[in-house]
Structures are given as structure tokens and as C-alpha cells.
Amino acid sequence: MGASLMIVGNDLDQGALRNAMEEEGYEVTGAGQAETALDRLRHYGAPDVMIVDLLVGDMDAFTCIREVRRAHEVPIMVVSSSEDTHDVVAALEAGADDFVTKPLAFKEISARVRALRRRPHLGALPDDPAPEPPAELVLDADPQAPLVLSPDGGVVRRGDEPVHLTITEFRLLCELAANPGRVLSRTFLLERAWDEGFFGDERLVDVHVRRLRTKIEADPSEPHIVVTVRGLGYRFDPPK
């Protein structure tokens, strides 16, 4: 059975996009309205990936994405006819993982969807042999609630509680944690966390780092795990 994909929005060329993705082996569901999509998620759970048009008609697309993010970690790609950086940033702030402008190039969409469904350093796929037990990295040695990253297991925990990250946030954290004490440029992080890169706008990395900090830092305004190195990029400071 192929991976499931939901296309949200009447203004998307759902017929052509649906056909292209079905040819790639995806099981595609279309939802013309945002509320229809949210209702399906409530009743049937999340698909493997979502593509959301910025113009969904009955609801602000950013509101729709935030509602999805309240309960689901499904990768979300936003499609828009605008290349306005404000729209890109707003979509990412709401919880989207990728942003593509029209007209749609179906091969690019397919490649980006595949990239969204991958996490860095993940072990075997379900049909492969079981992987070795995942290594764990301590990101914050708080004795009451240490922050632990399992790159192979795709898990982040604060004490006994899971920390829910989007795939892009997880990728960024893995890249930073794999290079302790090293400054990683925004260009490097774009190339690594988004596979083939993103829009070339390095400010988009800042948006995701800002969101990541709200989830892993005790005080996001004074981060001590993911540190900004002005003019250069970001650095993971391991616990002493």
C-alpha cells in the first residue's frame, strides 16, 4: 500500500496533481475546504503528508496549519501563487515544513514530498531488518528533566515526555547535534535540512530555529542549547 497524501484547497489543480502523485504510488485524498480536511483528520487520523493551498477558501490557510499542528506531526507543504517572503515566513511560523510556488512542477513536488517524508539518519524502513538500538544524545543535562535526542529512533524527550517536533525541526536539531561546538552556516543548514536546498532565503532557517527553541529551550529568549553566532550561523553547545 502506498503512502497517503491529502491535497487541501480548491484552487490547486487537484486533478493534475492527484494524477501525478497517484502515478508516483501515493494514495491521494482531496479536500476542497480546510474544515473538510480537519474533519477527516479528526475522524481518520493524519495522512503521511499534506499539501495545502494558501487559498483554501473557507479558512485562513495559516489557521488551518496551526489546527493540524495541535494534534499531528504530519509533514505539510504549502503551495502559493505568491513568492512573498512574508507568506513563506507566516506559513513556516504556523507549522509548515516546505513552501512551493505555482505553477507547479510535478517532478519537483514529488521530490520534495519524498524529502519531507525522510528524516536524517533514520534506520531501516518498516520492511527492512530491525535496526540496532538507537544511540542517544543528551542535549540538556537538567537532572530533573534531561533533554535527550535519539537520531536513529526519530525521538526527542524532555524527561519522560516526548517533545513534538516537525520533520524540519528534527532535521535541524540532528544536524546541529551531530556537530557539537561547530558553527553551522544558514546555507549549510538549508542544504542539509531541506535536501536540495529551499528558496535560497537564509532567513527561513531563522524561522525554524526560532520555533525549535520554543520547544527545547527552558528560556527561548536566552537559548543555551542552540546558540546564535552573529553573522555566521548557529551552534549546538553540548552540556558540560
7-37 pLDDT, tens digit each: 998 766 567 888 899 999 999 998 988 999 9
Q: Cell triple for residue 16?
A: 493534475
Which grid coordinates belong to 38?
Answer: 480537519
In the chain, which segments carry CATH 1.10.10.10?
Answer: 137-236
pLDDT attached to residue 40? 94
By the 8 A CB rule, do 152 and 131 touch? yes
**Banded pLDDT at 130 (limits 50, 70, 90):** very low
Residues of the chain with CATH 3.40.50.2300: 4-116
Q: How many other β-carbons are positioned within 10 Å of the β-carbon of residue 15? A: 9
Q: What is the pLDDT, as a whole number, of residue 1?
A: 57
First to last CA, the chain: 47
Whole-Å CA distances, 19 to 7, 54, 155: 12, 21, 34
Q: Does the predicted model carry a pTM greater than 0.75?
A: no
User: In Å, what is the CA distance from 192 to each residue of 42, 117, 170, 238?
Assistant: 33, 14, 12, 20
pLDDT at 14: 65
Q: 4 or 80, which is more confident?
A: 4
Spatial separation of the C-alpha atoms in residues 225 and 81, rounded to whole Å: 37
Average pLDDT over residues 196-213: 75
The pLDDT value recorded for residue 235 is 96
C-alpha cell at 235: 551552534
Indicate if the pLDDT at residue 236 is higher than 90. yes
Query: What single-letter DSSP state applies at residue 31?
Result: E
Predicted confidence (pLDDT) per residue in 135-155, tens digit: 789 999 998 999 999 988 889
Predicted confidence band of residue 174 (pLDDT cuts 50, 70, 90): very high
The hierarchical CATH code for the domain 137-236 is 1.10.10.10
Taking domain 4-116, whether its CATH number is 3.30.70.20 is answered by no
Average per-residue pLDDT in the chain?
A: 83
User: Per residue in 188-201, pLDDT tens?
Assistant: 888 787 655 444 56
pLDDT at 121: 35
